[in-house]
Structures are given as structure tokens and as C-alpha cells.
Amino acid sequence: MKKWRKLIAALVILGVVSWGASKVFAPAKPQDLFTGYVEGDLVQIGPVEGERLARLDVQPGDTVAKDATLFTMATPILDEQRAEARAKVAQSEANMRNMQAALQRPEQIAVLQAAVESAKAALVLSRTEYERQETLLAKGWASVAARDQAKFAFDRDKANLTQAERQVTAGLIPSRHQEITGAAAAMTQAQAELDQIDVRISRQTVHAPAAGIIQDVYFWPGEIVGAGQPILALLPPENRKVRFYVPEPQLARFALGAKISVSCDKCPSNLEGRVIYISQQAEYTPPVIFSLQERGKLVFRVDARLDDPSILLPLGLPVTTRLIAAEPAR
């Protein structure tokens, strides 16, 4: 009797354990699994200005770091424009220096100073003659007309000396303030045009905006590329995502930030991710009236990002996803 009791107890315990194990290790139901594939948001990179592709520094499949050189465009027209802009800068700088310098050259100033010395000598002579006529008139030995004539000559020579000195002063001063301001503005404009050309030339050498893998190359050195036309496609690791499709009856279980598990052939185990996008419209609409039975044919696109971006799953790889937690972690 005791043996039968022990046997019955063992069978009961075994049944409980088997039932619990079936609950823990039970495979996911087919309706809880959603099929999809690995997708990636490619960064299409092309030149700012159209030209001939001069050099390509990467190949498809290369891993590049951020700011690595990807390609360089030819710049023959920009080089000519830069030479012209540099000539304008040199011309405007020379004009500015000329405006800030004296109006007259040193040789002309020397001529004006010689005229001053001549006017001084003439003034000394006319002053002496005027003083002599004053003395003679006081003694009655000269006429008033002679004294007046000497006075006129003295005043004339004094005015000539003043004029000559002012010509020297005017020759030594720079141009007018308005002209100097205009020359400075022209020099600033010329320098800005040169800087703009330099920026345009530098932009023809394109660098990687982020680290990633060169997914594809569309043009090769020697080919003409239009402005904004992509030369290559870059795939940063964080741009990979899993895209799968959820039937309409199960769509309500998903929300942005929901946690999912991802499995695929020979992939690392315990892959998980978060839902980042849920389509607002069905991907496929059958031409029938939707009854409760038919609306299950509608599927909605859902995108999820893996928690670990260092896992580089190939694009287009089929995957199977399962919802772990409908609500995002707080």
C-alpha cells in the first residue's frame, strides 16, 4: 500500500513539473511570430557642385571612420575663379594703400617745396623794396605811387608764399575720408569673394558624415556627376533596422518603444530591439469589403532598432520577431 502511495505521489509531482516546464519552455504560438527582414537607411552622398569625379578614396564594402575622405571632384573652373578673385584682392589692397598715402609723389612734393623757397625769396625782395620806398617817401625823395607799387608787390609775394605752402600741405595729406572708406569696402568685398571660392573648392572634397560601411558606389573617376547626384551610399551602424509586418488584428498590441526579440539563421542569440515606427496605413488592401473574417489580411509595417548597433546584420536578411513587452520601458 505504501508503495502505491509513493508511486502515485511521484506521478503527481512529475505531472506538475511537466506542466510547469511546458509553460516555461513552450514555443511561441504562430500568431505571435512576425516575419520581416533587415533594412537600412542609406546615406546617399554626392557633390555640392557638378563636375568630373577626380578621385575616389573608397570601395564598396570599406569601413570608414567619421570625417574620412570619400572622394574629390575636379575644380578647373573654380581654380580660374580663385585666381581672378586673388587678383582682385591684390588690386584692391594696392588701391587702399594708394588712398592712404600722400596725394603727390615725393618728386612732386620736392617741386612744390622749391616753389615755396622761391616765394620766400621773392617776399624778402619785395619787403626790402617796400621798406626802402617807405623811407624815401618819409624824406620826400620818392612818390606815393612808387611806395604803393612796392606795397602791392609785397602783398602779392606774401600771398604767393601762402599758396605755395598750402600746396605742399595738401600734397602730403591722404585722400578724402569717403574715398578711403570706399576703397576699404572694395577690399573687403574682394576678400569675401576669394573666401567664397576657397569654401567652394574645399567642399568638392567630400568627407564621411559618420562612421559606417560603403554599401555601394555609383560613379567612378573620370565620370561626370551632377550637383547633388549621389556617388556612393554609406550605411552607419545605427541606421540598420528590422522591418516586419503585423496583421491588423494584432496591431493594437504594438506601441512605439515596445520591446521585441529577433531571431534569424545563424544570428547571435538573445537579439532584442525597440519599435521605432508603426505605419498608419495598411501595406496591402484587398479589393473586398472588410468583414471580421477578411480584415485579418491587412498587414501594417513596423520598424524596430536593435539595442546593440554593433551587430551588423546583412541587409535583406530574413528575420522572425516576437513581441516581448507591449509597453516601452520607463
Q: What are the pLDDT digits (tens) for 30-44?
A: 567 888 899 999 999
Q: Which CATH class, in words, describes the domain spanning 84-198?
A: mainly alpha
Q: Which CATH class, in words, describes the domain spanning 43-72+205-235?
A: mainly beta
Nearest to 231 by CA among 49, 61, 71, 64: 71
How does 253-275 read in b/e, with b if 16+ C-beta sit within 10 Å? ebeeebbbbbebeeeeeebebbb
Residue whose grid cell is 501595406: 283
pLDDT for the residue 101:
64
By three-state DSSP, how is residue 307 classified?
A: coil
Of 106 and 143, the one with more pLDDT: 143
Hey, what's the cell of 175?
Answer: 585722400
Residue 73 has pLDDT above 80, yes or no: yes
pLDDT for the residue 105:
62
As annotated, the residues of the chain forming the CATH 2.40.30.170 domain(s) are 30-41+237-325
pLDDT for the residue 183:
80
Q: What is the pLDDT of residues 158-185, one digit of tens each?
A: 888 888 788 777 666 665 666 777 788 8
Q: CB-based contacts of 252: which residues, under 8 Å, 6+ apart? A: none
pLDDT for the residue 203:
93
Range of lowest pLDDT (42-46, 50-54, 120-124, 191-195): 120-124
Fold of domain 30-41+237-325 = Elongation Factor Tu (Ef-tu); domain 3 (2.40.30)
Range of lowest pLDDT (48-52, 148-152, 195-199, 315-319): 148-152
Q: How far is Cα 29 from Cα 34, in angstroms, rounded to an integer?
A: 11
As annotated, the residues of the chain forming the CATH 2.40.50.100 domain(s) are 43-72+205-235
As annotated, the residues of the chain forming the CATH 1.10.287.470 domain(s) are 84-198
| The residue type at 303 | D
**pTM for this prediction:** 0.63
The torsion angles phi and psi of 123, rounded to 5 degrees, stand at -65, -40
Q: If you compute the radius of gyration of the chain from its CA atoms, what whole number of angstroms results?
A: 47
Of 141 and 202, the one with more pLDDT: 202
Residue 16 has pLDDT above 60, yes or no: no
Pick left, alpha or beta for residue 222 (phi over 0 → left; psi -120 to 50 → alpha; otherwise beta).
left
Pair 242, 273: CB distance under 8 Å: yes
At residue 290 the predicted structure's pLDDT band, cuts being 50, 70 and 90, is very low
DSSP per-residue letters across 6-43: HHHHHHHHHHHHHHHHHHHSPPPPGGGEEEEEEEE--E
Long-range contacts of 172-176 (CB under 8 A, 24+ apart): 172/102, 172/103, 172/104, 172/109, 173/102, 173/103, 174/99, 174/100, 174/101, 174/102, 174/103, 175/99, 175/100, 175/103
Hey, what's the cell of 326?
Answer: 507591449
Q: Considering the chain, what percentage of its residues have pLDDT values greater than 90?
A: 38
